Structure 1
Amino acid sequence: MTALPETPAPANPDETLRLDRFLPYRLAVLANTVSKGIARLYADRFGITIPEWRILAILGAFGAATASEIQGRSAMDKVQVSRAIARLTEAGMIQRTVDAADRRRQTIAMTAEGDQVYREIVPLARAREAALLEGFTQEEREMLDRLLDRLQARAAAGETP
């Protein structure tokens, strides 16, 4: 077995990345932890995955949409959206309708079954959200909301070096 080459220590300690304090890493870990916590509430009971729930949540909040619109609202990649749409269609929770004016375009909408699942999950998700925010004052919640909006806007605008 060959030994791995030693990684030289940075000459300047400021060059060391403290991953546990690095904002993009922390946000990713937090998002995954929160999503997995909520997923435990619905995965076994309804047999759906995180991407599938996100699609139902988008359709429940905004109504029928195209796959591209879902992708834009969810920040999921095209493959994730496509696979989740296929599974939800097979499970009878959503249906696709071909646009009469543009046969390449399909609109995706929840079926009655999908709407029922959505309505059962929403209170579970909201209760989880309330538990996460428990102990925060109303002012802190509003500040967190504003800060997240600002971070999202900056990230979307590509305001990074």
Structure 2
Amino acid sequence: MPMTAPSRSSSRRRGTAPVDFDLTSLLGFVIFRLSSSLGGLAERDAQEVAGLTLPEYRCLVVLATRGDMGVTPLCQIMHIDKAWVSRTLAKLAQAGLVGSIPDPADARRTIFSVTPRGRQTGQALIARAMDRQARMLEGFDREEVERLLELLRRMQENADRAKGR
């Protein structure tokens, strides 16, 4: 079903939803469904490659691609709360994919990094992610992809402003 803008001409009483309202046509619903589908595919790949959950996969790949960092920067990059990231890092450390050292600038903090095994796993996960993305963008030309990403960035900026960030 094509996505349509909400109708302003619907005849309705104040405080009631339009009769022709379709939740599945709302942008938030469409994006949530797509995000859920993409996350499910990513988690399936993470399970097949390394037996990881989606948050474990994401933490590992961020560390593998952006370098050593503490919990706070990981939280900011991934938009996940500190307790969740800490538990995820503990699981990755237990699996031998991530190591940690005290932060030389502040011994109360810990710096996390991928181990050699974690780097190899991260590379395999990234290769799967690139293949998955290519499948999702099949039939789109380069300009369409660039335009789509630009529109999504702008939409995120609008959402951030609406949240008062």
- Please classify the TM superposition score into its range, dividing by the shorter chain length: 0.7 to 0.9
C-alpha displacement of 1:61: 2.1
Q: Which one of the candidate residues 27, 33, 39 is aligned to 2:37?
A: 33
Can you give the 5+ residue segments of structure 2 that lack an aligned partner in the other structure? 1-11
Change (3 A) 1:158 1:98: farther
In the alignment, which residue of structure 2 is the partner of 1:58? 62
Larger mean Cα displacement after TM superposition, 77-86 or 87-96? 77-86
In 2: Cα distance, 1:67 partner to 1:52 partner: 13
TM-score of the pair, normalised by structure 1: 0.84
TM alignment of 1:9-158, pairs within 5 A: 11=13, 12-14=16-18, 18-158=22-162
Supply the AA of the counterpart residue of 1:136: F
In 2: Cα distance, 1:21 partner to 1:99 partner: 48
CA RMSD of aligned residues (A): 2.0
C-alpha displacement of 1:16: 7.7
Q: Secondary structure at the match of 2:69?
A: coil
Contact 2:99/2:115 (<8 A) preserved: yes
C-alpha displacement of 1:151: 1.5
Q: Secondary structure at the match of 1:64?
A: coil
Q: Identity across aligned pairs (percent)?
A: 30
C-alpha displacement of 1:79: 2.7
In 2: Cα distance, 1:96 partner to 1:87 partner: 12
C-alpha offsets along residues 63-102 of structure 1, whole Å, 9 cap, x if unaligned? 1111111111011222321221110010111111111331
C-alpha displacement of 1:62: 1.2
C-alpha displacement of 1:42: 2.4
Supply the AA of the counterpart residue of 2:29: Y
Report how many residues are paired: 151
Can you give the 5+ residue segments of structure 1 that lack an aligned partner in the other structure? 1-9
Change (3 A) 1:130 1:156: same
Supply the AA of the counterpart residue of 2:60: L
Supply the AA of the counterpart residue of 2:147: M
C-alpha displacement of 1:122: 1.1
TM-score of the pair, normalised by structure 2: 0.82
